[in-house]
Structure 1
């Protein structure tokens, strides 16, 4: 088989995707039930440099308190879920793996539901969700250790067990929740939304997201090696237990931190890594950063639709399901046509 030379280099793809991300972020600032012109947005950013006139107080408030935190959160969360999905798929040798593999999403949802029932505010709900996600992963790893198995399949099965248990916990908490106030909050949080993101709670989670993301980007060169079978990877000098542990931990922290901010958002960590590999090939070292950019763009576009399609905001979990399903089918068909 003759391999065709790519029309664009990896660097060109990366730069082009980065520029597209900036354009989408700029466009997303203007979209919503209260649209803003590009001129107003440009003046908002240029005025502190004395290069443009001042923006009306109402427009400033909308941009600074509502739109900007939300758009930054969409970009960061989309990138985090996509990077986590790429890392998990490489580590577990399974293209159908998603970031909530080890029960992170359901654990975080259970933690958030408990905090809502206890009457915690936004910061308390986020901390409880993060703790629930990490507790779920710790339980899955403990099951693997108890079974005295080092295989990745055992860890996946343990994650499925914990995820099912956390779903039962969520069901119990919804059953005892106040149907007037608490139950709608739990249900809406499970469906995923960026409506309640502020600069303060964004700042609370960004350091953790950045640290875990930087570590995964630093380890992206090892993903190709770790995606080999155990004997080949060990022969080539990989410390499987240590390196896989670091990558799984960082991917889990990324997922838990993202779920803390937005609630449960599916499909991004499953679909976007396939889109990145379709463009750049099976090299995980190159696919990981590209998937992060694609994930940020994808969630930004979905969030813009969520804020614009109706008078009330559509939960992101609904949109990702309706759009992610046909997109994933198309990607599978495209990969079949391309590689078979």
Structure 2
């Protein structure tokens, strides 16, 4: 009973943080906007009241800030879900959503698109396809080396190799790109950012988010079985090989689609699952939902910092790294007995 109350309180706190972050993010920016004006305009749009507010404020809310706010929430949630699923499947607290090469592959696809001067939707499609292809390459190579898949170590090592290969390919593209036009675009995109997210991007991402997250939420209790190992999962009636395949596909969809619209954003899928488990415990039935809420809040606040700390926008991956690296070191130091 106490555990259930503790988890319910944690859900309430996480949701409250997300709600406050959501509303507060509309108020941050060069255009001054009060909470009263924000709520008035939002309620007016929802209830269909006559337009009696500043049209400039409406444009800032719905055309400038709302797309990137929803993108930050969705991408933060997606990377946190993917990281939580991978850490459970691999039984390793040090893995992250880019473990099998999804981020490196998507980065290569985007860099290739920039090199050939594709438009943004084409670049995003290239990024998504190459992210999926990189993970497929990892899986095929691992299946050839380790056909019976007795251990996940071979898959992890293969993922590291494939990621390194695609990082090398990205370096080749940066080396050959025009330093006055294409190279800056490639470098800035690889550092991550939400400034150019549109509603059409959100439509694509929403479809991918549902495809990747819904199966994981439906099978979250089975992830608990994977945490005990393959043999124990089989004894509980869980087909470990099939479940691992589904987790890899879903996590790759979430990661590749996130990178496709926002660039490479690190640390979220690594630290948010850890922080969530420290608060609500190790049961994936609650961890997956909690990490979704907490990850959305984290990236939303990081994006607020990226666009408000200085006059020009900071790439969001710099913010997440500055926050994530020291935070993770602190977690390792204070909770090393429980994390490792």
Q: CA deviation at 1:11?
A: 2.2
TM-score (norm 1): 0.95
Question: The residue matched to 1:98 in structure 2 has which SS?
Answer: coil
Q: CA deviation at 1:233?
A: 1.4
- Contact 1:43-1:54 at 8 Å conserved across structures: no
Alignment of 1:105-116 (within 5 A): 105-116=103-114
Which residue number in structure 2 is paired with residue 47 of structure 1? Answer: 44
| Cα distance in 1 between the residues matched to 2:123 and 2:53 | 35
Of the structure 1 ranges 110-119 and 18-27, higher mean CA displacement relative to structure 2 is found in 18-27
Q: CA deviation at 1:64?
A: 1.1
Alignment of 1:202-241 (within 5 A): 202-241=202-241
Which residue number in structure 2 is paired with residue 79 of structure 1? Answer: 77
1:237-284: per-residue Cα shift (whole Å, max 9, x none)? Answer: 110111111011101110001111110000000000000000011112
| Structure 2: tracts of 5 or more residues without a match | none
Which residue number in structure 2 is paired with residue 14 of structure 1? Answer: 11
Q: CA deviation at 1:50?
A: 4.7
TM-score (norm 2): 0.95
Which residue number in structure 1 is paired with residue 272 of structure 2? Answer: 272
Which residue number in structure 2 is paired with residue 33 of structure 1? Answer: 30
- Contact 2:211-2:253 at 8 Å conserved across structures: no
| Cα distance in 2 between the residues matched to 1:274 and 1:8 | 21
- Contact 1:46-1:52 at 8 Å conserved across structures: no
Which residue number in structure 2 is paired with residue 308 of structure 1? Answer: 308
| Structure 1: tracts of 5 or more residues without a match | none
Which residue number in structure 2 is paired with residue 148 of structure 1? Answer: 146
| Cα distance in 2 between the residues matched to 1:184 and 1:339 | 39
| Cα distance in 1 between the residues matched to 2:227 and 2:90 | 7
| Cα distance in 2 between the residues matched to 1:193 and 1:99 | 18
- Contact 2:80-2:291 at 8 Å conserved across structures: yes
Which residue number in structure 2 is paired with residue 297 of structure 1? Answer: 297
**CA 1:111/1:286 → structure 2, altered by over 3 Å: closer, same or farther?**
same
CA RMSD of aligned residues (A): 1.8
- Contact 1:222-1:285 at 8 Å conserved across structures: no
Of the structure 1 ranges 148-157 and 104-113, higher mean CA displacement relative to structure 2 is found in 148-157
Q: CA deviation at 1:332?
A: 2.4
Q: CA deviation at 1:5?
A: 4.9
Q: How many residues of Structure 1 are paired with residues of Structure 2 in the alignment?
A: 337
